[in-house]
Amino acid sequence: MSKYYMIADIHGMCGGVFSALRKLDETIAGADGKTVFVLHELVHNTAVTAEYEARNVCFTDDINAIPGGAIAVIGAHGVDMQTEALLRSRAATVVDATCPLVKKLHDIAASLEDDRELVIFGKSGHPEVTGVAGNSRAGKTFIVASDSDIAALPELKRPYFISQTTVDAARSDTALNLLKERFPQLEYSAGVCDASFKRQNAVIALAKRCPVVIVAGSAHSSNACRLQEIAAEHGAKSFRVDSHEEIPGEILEKAPLIGITSGASTPTRAVDAIIRCLTEHGFVPAQD
């Protein structure tokens, strides 16, 4: 029996991630051998983090673990302005690798008047959401992740809605519509970034054609996890793997057609390794 694979039209690293990697590379090159400290992970990928750790980069979620006078980088998910100010007061050099699209959400949150309420659709505790919420000048800020969270909101007078950049775009739309029903005066801005949106649309197309979809990306990558969930919602048996070694043996033996995609923080080499693995197990590229 022939076995085939096909690759999502759009997948893999986005512009924001490439920019963050370039900034860290340039910082390492100029560090003269000194340790470079990164506040939070640069991007949410285990292999990328391990690679930089081997190059004398120290990732930490604890700003107090960054010594005075250090060279520091802010990860792509950003931090709130108080944390950035504290970092700048203690580090000798601070390089900001926050994605500009996350910065845009920071600016929106910081521009809200104190008689408003900010509603963020996203995952509580995710660094991006923490940074946006921390920058909010609205009188109240709420983080919602589900219909029931929205139903549980109190009455809001001047609500403003944004979503985390990497959430499921369809779910963000549903949340927005629910909020509009409850609060007709709601104002909002698009939050899901173009890179996430395009990768989600591409995985929907892939899941409609492939009974099995493999998503390359780490378990703590929001956008990779969303791709896996979306593929499953559109009918595919879907798996998220950090590396080809995690692909279930049964899939390699029995799946007739496998779709492959990868998250916005996943290096190309992870997808290349998956393709090599499938090829070794007898898979060939599917013809359109």
Residues binding ligand SF4 (CB under 6 A): 14-17, 76, 99, 101-102, 165-166, 193, 195-196, 223, 264
Residue 79: name the closest of 59, 53, 99 by CA.
99
Q: Which helix (H) or strand (E) holds 123?
A: none
| Residue whose C-beta lies closest to ligand SF4 | 16
Separation CA 226–CA 263 (nearest Å)? 9
Extract the tokens encoding 251: 């899939």
- For residues 14 and 133, which CB has a smaller minimum distance to ligand SF4 in the complex? 14
Complex with ligand SF4: residue 49 or 196, whichever CB lies closer: 196
Q: Which is nearer to ligand SF4, 43 or 87 (CB)?
A: 43
Q: Out of 41, 84, 117, 128, pick the active-site residue.
A: 128
| Structure tokens, 211 | 């009974």
Nearest CA to 60 out of 35, 80, 81 is that of 35
Q: Is 41 helix (H, G, I), strand (E, B) or coil?
A: coil
16/122 with CB nearer ligand SF4: 16
What is the closest distance, in whole angstroms, from the C-beta atom of residue 161 to ligand SF4 in the complex? 17
- The residue among 169, 233, 232, 179 whose CA lies nearest residue 201 is 169
Spatial separation of the C-alpha atoms in residues 286 and 281, rounded to whole Å: 15
For the bound state, the minimum distance from the C-beta of residue 202 to ligand SF4, rounded and expressed in Å, comes to 14
Q: Is 229 among the catalytic positions?
A: no
The pair of structure tokens assigned to 170 is 């369809």
- The CB-of-76 to ligand SF4 minimum distance in angstroms stands at 5
Across the strands, what pairs with 72? 37, 94
Give least dist CB 18 to ligand SF4, A: 9
Residues identified as active-site: 128
